[in-house]
Amino acid sequence: MTLVPFGARLAAALAERGPLCVGIDPHPYLLRAWGLADDARGLEELGRRVVAACAGVAAAVKPQVAFFERHGSAGYAALEAVLADARAAGLLVLADAKRGDVGSTVAAYGEAWLTPGSPLESDAVTLSPYLGVGALAEPVRLALAHGKGAFVLAATSNPEASLVQRARPARGDASVAAAVLADLRRLEPAPLSGHGATLGSLGVVVGATVTLADYGIEPEDLVGIPVLAPGFGHQGAEVADLPRLFGPAASGVLVAASRSILEAGPGELAAAVRRHAQEAAACLA
């Protein structure tokens, strides 16, 4: 079987279905609103319904691992069922796990999320670089070897992060966020050739609510790099602003939305997914 890089598969999904990435975030209040119990069975039911609504419509789904983890082994079993459904539906699966460590520990995280056949197998995983981007070398190696991807936190949408991510270690230095981006480019200087790849397989998380210039990043710096952009919908960013926010890099951005879709409830879920997908695709037309 020919190995197709994640970046090529992502580019194909974006071209075919547009940039919507639906977050599967089973907050307790959402479970109550859906008439579901706050237990593993409720999480699985919500997650599988979201997958069914997204199939053929959204480019990707992004399960937030923490909401499943809070229910222990039963929660992980529910997550495994949701991941399997999503892969079977042809959706790209981004595990929002934000893992990061050093040595054999971070390698084990990579094996859990990026190894074909793993119960938690996903197409990509979010990684934290704050023990050094170089410490992520092993999960990055696994991702590229298995046709998987990774999204490394760079300029995130939560306001608490700006003090660290905008910091410049010395006068004239790049910001921490810009340094993460530069280090990532060194790990994957260009998209893997073939399969019509226009995007790399290593991406960054950049919030739609941040001002790139404040982090020393220009939209041109993101061209060719997949961008996972949270902050649309519930956090205040407007999908229509995607071209303005990311300029020439907009075609490689995944528009992450969760609560603004899930709050529609199970009866209106499919319509909410379609509406968000059409809006996201239209702004790039």
Q: So which residues are the catalytic ones?
A: 98
What per-residue string of b and e applies to 196-219 under the rule 16 or more CB within 10 Å gives b?
ebbbbbbbbbbbbbbebeebbbeb
DSSP E strand stretches across the chain: 20-24, 60-63, 92-99, 124-127, 149-155, 202-206, 227-229, 253-257
**Separation of first and last alpha carbons in the chain:** 34
Q: What's the CA dihedral at 230, 222, 19, 41 to 10 degrees?
A: -40
What is the spatial distance between Cα 183 and Cα 228, in angstroms, rounded to a whole number? Answer: 17
CA atoms lying within 13 Å on the CB side of residue 223: 6
Phi-psi region for residue 37, left (φ > 0), alpha (ψ -120 to 50) or beta?
beta
CA atoms lying within 13 Å on the CB side of residue 116: 8
What is the spatial distance between Cα 237 and Cα 221, in angstroms, rounded to a whole number? Answer: 21
Coil/strand/helix, residue 246: helix
